[in-house]
Amino acid sequence: MEFNGTLFAQYLILGVTNGALIALIALGYTLVYGIVELINFAHGEVFMMGAFLSLSAVSAFGLVSGAGWAQIALVSLVAMLAAMLFSGALNWSIDRVVYRRLRSAPRLAPLIAAIGISFILQGIGIYWKGSTTILPPNLIPTDIRSVNILTDWLGLETRIRFRALDLAVILLTVPLLIALSWLVYRTRTGKAMRAVAQDRGAAALMGIDVNRTIATAFLVGGILAGAAGFIVAYYTNTARFQMGFRYGLFAFTAAVLGGIGNLNGAVLGGLIIGLVWSMSDGFLQTYIPWWGAQWTPLIIFGVLVLVMVFKPTGLLGEAVPEKV
Amino acid sequence: MNIRFEHLLGQLERGAIDRRTFIVRAIALGVTGSAVASALSRVGRASAQDESAASIGNPEIPHVEGTEKGVIKIYSSWPSTGSMEGIGVDALEAARLAFADFGNMAGGFAIEYVPLDSGIAANNGGWDPGVESANANQAIADPDAMVYMGTYNSGAAKISIPIMNEAGMAMISFANTYTGLTKEFPGNEAGEPEQYYPTGERNYSRVIAADDIQGALGAQWAVETKGVESAYILDDQSLYGHGVAQVFNDTLLEMGVEVLGFEGYDPRAPDYQALMTKIADAGPDLVYVGATVENNPSKVLLDMRSLMPADEVVFLGPDGLFTQAFIDGAGEAAEGAFLTFAGLPPGELAGPGADFNARMTEILGHTPDAYSTYSYDSAVAVIQAIDQVGEKDRAKILDALMATKDFTSLVGKTWSFTETGDIDNPSMSVNEIVPNDEGELTITFVEAIGS
C-alpha cells in the first residue's frame, strides 16, 4: 500500500482536534483525582449538562440567519461562558452536597455516589432535551462551518481539509489548558491545591482551608467541562444526553493513560486517544484491509489495559509520588 | 362532569338512547356546542370503524362476540420511550385500536391487552435483553396469556422466541425483519433459525417482509434506478443492522457492483469524521447504513454529508431509519436521503388504510408511524385466531395463528403465512426525505418496488 500523505495529514488534524477536546474533559478527572483521590464518574455528565446549557443559551439569543462573524463570535463567547459557569457551579454543588459528606467515608462510598449522580444527571438531561440526538440551534451557518483555511483563505491546492472550525477548537482549547497550568503552578490557590494533594492533614495544619481548596478543584474542573460541552456541541453539531458517557470514558482513559493526577499527562493522554481514534477509524485500513471502525473502542481500551499492566502509573507517572 | 358525559356518550353508542335524547341530555349537562359536535364526530367514527375492521383480515372468519367464557390476555413487548417513543407508542395505540374495533372481544372471551415496555433509559429508550427476557417470562407465567405480540427489534426476538417456544405460546411480530429468525439464509449465523425453536415446532410469525427481501430489493433499486456502480456499506453492529447490510452487500456483489468497504461503526462514538474521510477517499456512488434510529445514524449522516453532498453520493438506509427522529437528529443534512421500508407509509394507503390513518391521526395528534399499520394487522390476526378456536388453549390458538391465510392487510395486500411464519406476498417501498409544503423535511413516498 502506498503511503497517502494527504489522508494522513487529514487524520492527524481530526485526531488532534478531538484529542484536545478529550484532554479538556480529562483534566477535570485528573484535577479532582489528584486532590481527593476520587474518580468523579459524574464528570462526563457535568460536561453534557454544560453542552445542553450552551444550546439553551444560544436559543435564548435567537440568532438570525445571515449573522456575521462578529455576531457569531459574540454569541459563542457568551454561550460558552454561560456553560462554563453553569458546569462549574454544578460540579461545585455536587461536591458540596454529596462528596464533602463522604470525605471520611470508605473510598468506595464517594465512588458509588459519583455513579449515582451520573445517572441522576442523565435523567435530568433526558427530561431537559429529550432522549434523541438533537441538532444544536443554528449558530454557525453551514457555509461558515465548511470554510477550509488551506484552500479558501490561503489559496493552497490541496485536498487536506483544515476548517476554521477545527482551528477554533484549538484556539479555544489551548488558552484554557494554559490558564489551568498557570492556576495550578503559579497562584496561591494552585499552591494550596498541590499542598492538599500531597498531604491533606499537613496542609490543614499550615492553615489551608482544605474543604475550600477541594471545592475550588471541583469548580475549575466543572468550568473546563462546561467549555468542552459548548465546543463539542458545535464542533460535532450534535448533542445527546448520552454524549457524556463516551467522551467521559475516553477522557477517563486519557487521564489514566497519562498518569492520573498529572495535568500534563491528561493532555498527552487526550491527544494520544484522539489520534488512535482517527487512525483506527480511518488510516489503519490502508494497511490492514479487514480493519474497520468497529474495532476502535477495542483498540483504545486495549491501549488502556496495556498501560495499566506494564506501567500502572501511566505514561508520565504520578505527579505526587508520595501517594501510594 | 366529564365522566357523566362519557357515560351518556356510551349510552348513545350502545344505542340505549337516541341521538336527540343524547343532545338534550348533553345540553342539560351543560356541555358546550363544540363538545357535542366532537361527540357526534366520534359517533360518526364508530360506523367507519366497523367498515375498517370488517375489511381487514380474513373476511370468512366470523367474529365471535360475548365475554361469557372469561378473559384472555394478549401481551406485547417493545420499547416505547426515549428515541423509540415515536415508533413504540404509535404501534401500541394501533394494537389497542384493533382490539377496540373488535369490541375487545374474541371467541367469546373478553380481550385484555397488556402492553409491556422493553426499553431502558440508559439505552436511549432502546430495548434491553434483561427487560425483554423478564417481559417474556411474565407473559408465560400468566395462565390467561395466550399470545405474545412483538418484538420491535430482531435482537430482542432472539431472546423471546425460544422462551415462547418452550412455553408453547404463539408470538407475532409487526416489525422484526432479520431473516435468520425464520428462514435459512446464506447470511445467517450458525444454527439459525433452528436454534430459536428448541421444541422443533414453529410458534413465531411476522406480518412484515424479512430483510432478505428488503436488502435485495433495495440493492436492485439502487443499481437500476440510481445507476450505482460502487458502494460503501456501514452497519450499527446490531443483529438487524448487520443482517440487512449483509444482504445488501451480497446482492450488490451478485449484480457486479463494486463494494469498496463493509464495516461496523461504533454507535456510541461522538464523531465519525475520520471514518467519513476514509469513505470519501474511497469515492463510492452510494453509502448504505444498516441501523436503527437509537444507534446514532443521524450523526453518521451528518458527518457523511459534510464531505459527500447529496447530489454526488446517494444515502440509502433500511426501515430502521424510517422515523421522524432520524430526520430531527440530522437536520438539513437529511434532505435527499433514501430509505427503503418493508411496506407502505400510512399516508399512501387507500380504503381501510386511509381510514386507519385518519383515525390514528385523531388519536395521536400526528400522522401515525409507518409501523403502526403492521401492529394493527398483527392484532387483527390474533383476534381472528382466537375467534376460530373459541377456547383458552395456547396450543390451539398457536396453530390457528400460524395457519392464518388469505389475510387482507391495511396496505391492501392479501397474504398467507408460509410454513416459516413469513408472509407470502410482501410489499416494499422506496422513500425520500424531502421538504413538504411548509418546508419541513419529511419522509415522502417515491415508489413501490418488487412484486
The pLDDT of residue B162 is 95
Secondary structure element (H or E) that encloses residue B415, with its range: strand B414-415
Q: Do B257 and B283 lie in a common domain?
A: yes
- Does any domain span residue B65? no
- Does any domain span residue B62? no
For residue A3, give the 3-state DSSP assignment: coil
Q: Do B333 and B240 lie in a common domain?
A: yes
E-assigned strands of B327-369? 338-341
CB contact under 8 A, A126 and B121: yes
For residue A125, give the 3-state DSSP assignment: helix
**Is the model's pLDDT at B109 over the cut of 90?**
yes
Q: Do B353 and B216 lie in a common domain?
A: no
- Does any domain span residue B64? no
The pLDDT of residue B195 is 93
Supply the angle between the helices B273-282 and A5-36 in degrees, to the nearest 10: 170
Best residue of B81, B87, B278 to probe chain A, by most A CBs closer than 10 Å = B278
Listed by number, the residues of chain A in 245-264 with a beta carbon closer than 8 Å to a beta carbon of chain B are: 245-247
The pLDDT of residue B40 is 45
Q: Do B168 and B45 lie in a common domain?
A: no
**Is the model's pLDDT at B378 over the cut of 60?**
yes
**What's the CA gap between B432 and B340, in Å, rounded?**
9
Cα angle at B57 between B52 and B58, to 5 degrees? 125
Which of the four pLDDT bands, split at 50, 70 and 90, describes residue B70? Answer: very high
Nearest to B161 by CA among B190, B214, B201: B201
Q: Do B170 and B192 lie in a common domain?
A: yes
Q: State chain B's mean pLDDT as an integer.
A: 87
More confident residue, B45 or B265: B265
Which residues of chain A lie closer than 8 angstroms to B263, CB-CB? 292-294
Amino acid at A141: P
**What's the CA gap between A114 and B340, in Å, rounded?**
44
CB contact under 8 A, A292 and B263: yes
Domains of chain A: 5-310 (1.10.3470)
Task: Find the CATH number of the domain harbouring B221.
Answer: 3.40.50.2300
Share of residues in chain B with pLDDT > 70 (%): 88
**What's the CA gap between B158 and B151, in Å, rounded?**
9
Residue B148 in grid coordinates: 405474545
Q: Is the peptide bond before B193 cis (omega within 30 degrees of 0)?
A: yes
CB contact under 8 A, A294 and B263: yes
Chains A and B form CB pairs within 8 A to the count of 109
Per the structure, the complete domain to which residue B218 belongs is given by 212-341+429-449
Is A236 at the interface with chain B, CB within 8 A?
Answer: yes
Collect all residues with Cβ–Cβ distance below 8 Å to B196 and sequence separation of at least 6. B158, B161, B162, B165, B181, B204
Name residue B448's beta-bridge partners.
B429
Q: Do B45 and B167 lie in a common domain?
A: no
Which residues of chain B lie closer than 8 angstroms to A245, CB-CB? 268
- Does any domain span residue B445? yes
Collect all residues with Cβ–Cβ distance below 8 Å to B25 and sequence separation of at least 6. B8, B17
Average pLDDT over residues B113-129: 87
Q: Do B123 and B136 lie in a common domain?
A: yes
**Is the model's pLDDT at B32 over the cut of 80?**
no
- Does any domain span residue B61? no
The pLDDT of residue B176 is 92
Collect all residues with Cβ–Cβ distance below 8 Å to B277 and sequence separation of at least 6. A7, A10, A11, A14, A282, B307
Distances (CA, A) of B123 to A7, B26, B90, B235, B267: 35, 48, 20, 18, 11
How many domains does one find in chain B? 3
- Does any domain span residue B7? yes
CB contact under 8 A, A296 and B269: yes
The pLDDT of residue B5 is 57
Task: Determine which of A276-285, B29-38, B132-141, B233-242 has the lowest per-residue pLDDT on average.
Answer: B29-38
Q: Do B223 and B289 lie in a common domain?
A: yes
Which residues of chain B lie closer than 8 angstroms to A123, CB-CB? 121
The pLDDT of residue B314 is 96
What ipTM does this complex have?
A: 0.87
Q: Do B139 and B196 lie in a common domain?
A: yes
Q: Are B415 and B423 in contact (CB under 8 A)?
A: yes
Nearest to A52 by CA among A23, A22, A82, A95: A82
Residue of A nearest to B236 (CA): A294
> With left for phi above 0 and alpha for psi between -120 and 50, is residue A279 left, alpha or beta?
alpha
Summarize pLDDT for B190-204 with one digit per residue, the tens: 888 999 999 999 999
Which of the four pLDDT bands, split at 50, 70 and 90, describes residue B29? Answer: low
Residue B192 in grid coordinates: 439459525
CB contact under 8 A, B82 and A279: no
**What's the CA gap between A73 and A94, in Å, rounded?**
31
Q: Do B173 and B265 lie in a common domain?
A: no
CA distance A230 to chain B (A): 14
Q: Do B77 and B197 lie in a common domain?
A: yes
Q: Do B435 and B302 lie in a common domain?
A: yes
CB contact under 8 A, A132 and B293: yes
CB contact under 8 A, A238 and B264: no
Residues of chain A with pLDDT under 50: 319-324
CB contact under 8 A, A293 and B329: no
Collect all residues with Cβ–Cβ distance below 8 Å to A25 and sequence separation of at least 6. A43, A44, A47, A224, A225, A228, A247, A248, A250, A251, A270
The pLDDT of residue A164 is 86
Q: Is the peptide bond before A216 cis (omega within 30 degrees of 0)?
A: no
